[in-house]
A = this chain, B = another copy of it.
């Protein structure tokens, strides 16, 4: 019996034992845990006043751009001047959705026509990436073209070539810091090239989903180059749409979302928004300002998040290393921020690993979700979301997952032998 066969048989026995345990564990979504949400308990009693700094009665209609004080609080954190930042309701996803809707149904600055009146439009999708971005494109009939991620962000040689040669390419999805799911933060050079590159489409837009701008796991904070400033510097002031939110800062369902861009884009967004809304929930914005206070208050709050979730990321790395390290059966990321670990298994194995895990009571994000159309051509990438379960459950789930990886990967290798 070869060593590989022995490994497979051990894995099969381990898997049988795993199934017999009848687990029921969920690693599917990047949700904060109840203990993380408890960190915002202090918001309950806020705000202490309904008056904004400028005297606005926040209980009434109005103020489409959002309260000045919350825009000032997050301007630096999101690298957008407060005057060019818009504070809205509870979801940056809704703002991304609406930005695409506005682009489809109104003419974005610099465009010849509405995107709905273009024959076909294309978005570049660095992979692995965020499934909800891809779902938005699919929902609106926007063609997706994959671009591989590198350790510095999307492969810029590929990006530059595609945007230069094809005017149908109107956008690119970016999670520039602690990327979902790889944890990669874009290098200064990547950001500069995104800002400076020549695009065939005059209305090309970078959808800059800075979801994890302040979501550090360690004291080594990734620093992102200032995209808006670089775009302006390179004569492409209107190129970037910046998004962010407090969903993973305060309460996931009751946060404040942000849109930031050039003055022309902000005016365009507000003109569209003025037909959709009379103003955001300013009481909730005031609640956030009183609770978080200032940039230092935000940083202190985010350190408390990190104290709760860093041990979970450590556990994932520790167990993957112990069970799979040196086997050649898997590789994975060890991010310094964000919400995910990306696990790569041998080509053609990801779907089967996820299915085996499911059969053993461990729910994972569907294999392929990290790629456009839910289709990972190499069937290799699995997204792990460690934040929601408690540590003990997480350790059980990851240990179980490694059994599935060993089983599926050794079987695959044997079938190829």
Contact = CB atoms under 8 A, between A and B. Distances in A.
Interface in A81-118: 89-91, 93-94, 97-98, 101, 104-106, 116
A11 B281 CA distance: 45
Contact of A276 (B97, B104, B251): B97
A61 B135 contact: no
A214 to B, nearest CB: 19
Given A101-B101, A116-B116, A59 B252 contact: yes
Interface in A255-300: 272, 275-284
A90 B280 contact: yes
A113 to B, nearest CB: 13
A59 B281 contact: no
What bracket does the count of chain A residues touching chain B fall in? Answer: 35 or more
A136 interface: yes
Given A45-B45, A59-B251, A61-B31, A277 B140 contact: no
Contact of A93 (B63, B140, B276): B276
Contacts of A338: none
Interface string A46-83: 00001000000111111100000000000000000000
A230 interface: no
Nearest to A116: B116
A37 to B, nearest CB: 4
Nearest to A137: B275
A136 to B, nearest CB: 6
A249 to B, nearest CB: 12
Contacts of A140: 105
A253 interface: yes
A29 interface: yes
A126 interface: no
B61 A253 contact: yes
Contact of A277 (B31, B40, B93): B93
Contacts of A104: 105
Contact of A282 (B45, B254, B284): B254
A368 interface: no
A400 interface: no
Given A281-B281, A281-B284, A284-B284, A253 B97 contact: no
Interface of A: 29, 31-32, 34, 37, 40, 44-45, 50, 57-63, 89-91, 93-94, 97-98, 101, 104-106, 116, 132, 135-136, 139-140, 247, 251-254, 272, 275-284
8 contacts: A34-B59, A60-B252, A60-B253, A61-B252, A98-B276, A104-B105, A136-B275, A253-B279
Q: Rank and list the top 5 A-B pairs by shortest CB-CB distance, nearest first.
A: A97-B276, A37-B59, A254-B283, A59-B251, A139-B275
